[in-house]
Amino acid sequence: MARTSVFRFSALALLLLSAFCWADNEAEEQLSVSERLSRANSNLIRSVDEPILIEGDIAIDSEAERNADPCTSRGCMWGKWSDGKVYIPYYITNHFSSREKAIITRGLESFSSFSCIRFRPSRSDDRDWLQIESQNGCWSYVGRSGGKQVVSLARSGCLYHGTVQHELLHALGFNHEQTRSDRDNHIQVLLHNVVSGMQHNFNKIATLNQGTPYDYNSVMQYHKYAFSRNNQPTMLPIPNPNVSFGNAQEMSRNDKARLNTLYKC
């Protein structure tokens, strides 16, 4: 009788644990790309040999670049070949398991279904390539910077389809939606709710918007509590503050449209 009771208790405990884990996993699956990036990059301690991060996940090499968009100050696009395709070499380091590499590869290959962008494995004679590594957090440089160009997708927190797409869009030359040149017509930034010293993350940039409208559903749009110091919104839509935004889990129609316009696909 005692053994039966112990068995029943153990079975119940296992069932409750499974239900808890299932609920936790389901909640995790519902997170937006912006929320995943915030979680993965929160409280990171940067070492002296790592690039400076602005806006949460954009890498820059010096303080001089903090308030500038390198894609508007110099050429940063990847070149197009005679066949009309844009071939971008990449190398995935051995930090990743086969399952993790499959997630990254799926993100890379997704671009070929809606654009002329073709990510291909790098060769020894490639001068410029993306090197995908598991470093400290999720981050990328904006646009083509030349030579080995690191895209960091940390194994803890960054390996999701939409997150891969987000960082690759940075590498292709795109900034965050909330820093667009026409941002103030669509988003009100509440700087009094922003963590002290983080206000620069909301500086507008002279972006090239490719004739596309402001997109609340862009995979590049951060959520309403980004960089909040008090759990209050740091951004509200204009004119309707109740409009939902920052919830994308993958690239939107406008994300794809501006990519195709920029690269003349």
- Binding site, annotated residues: 166, 170, 176
The pLDDT, as a whole number, for residue 225 is 93
The pLDDT, as a whole number, for residue 18 is 38
Span 33-172 CATH architecture:
3-Layer(aba) Sandwich (3.40)
- Which residues are paired to 87 by β-bridges? 118
Q: Give the residue, 132 or 208, on which the prediction is more confident.
A: 132
Q: How distant, in Å, are the alpha carbons of 54, 110, 139 from that of 96?
A: 26, 19, 16
Contacts of 259 (CB under 8 A, 6+ apart): 111, 115, 117, 169, 172, 174, 265
| DSSP at 123 | -
Range in 61-70, 107-116, 122-131, 176-185 with the lowest mean pLDDT: 61-70
N-terminal to C-terminal alpha carbon distance within the chain = 72
Q: How distant, in Å, are the alpha carbons of 65, 249, 253 from that of 36?
A: 25, 10, 21
Q: What is the pLDDT of residues 144-200, one digit of tens each?
A: 988 999 999 999 899 999 999 999 999 999 999 999 989 999 999 999 999 998 898
Q: What is the pLDDT of residues 37-54, one digit of tens each?
A: 888 888 777 777 888 888
Catalytic residues: 167
The pLDDT, as a whole number, for residue 112 is 96
Whether 8 shows a pLDDT value over 70: the answer reads no
Whether 119 shows a pLDDT value over 80: the answer reads yes
The pLDDT, as a whole number, for residue 93 is 95
Whether the CB-CB separation of 246 and 223 falls below 8 Å is answered with yes
* Domains of the chain by residue range: 33-172
Per DSSP, the three-state class of 236 is strand
pLDDT band at 63 (very low <50, low <70, confident <90, very high): low
pLDDT band at 73 (very low <50, low <70, confident <90, very high): low
The pLDDT, as a whole number, for residue 134 is 93
Per DSSP, the three-state class of 60 is strand
% of residues, the chain, pLDDT over 70? 84
- Binding site, annotated residues for Zn(2+): 166, 170, 176
Q: What is the pLDDT of residues 215-252, one digit of tens each?
A: 999 999 999 999 999 999 999 999 999 999 999 999 99
Whether 19 shows a pLDDT value over 80: the answer reads no
Q: Indicate the average pLDDT of the chain.
A: 85
Range in 42-46, 92-96, 209-213 with the lowest mean pLDDT: 42-46
Q: What is the pTM of this model?
A: 0.85
Say how far apart CA 127 and CA 67 lie, in whole Å.
28
The pLDDT, as a whole number, for residue 131 is 97
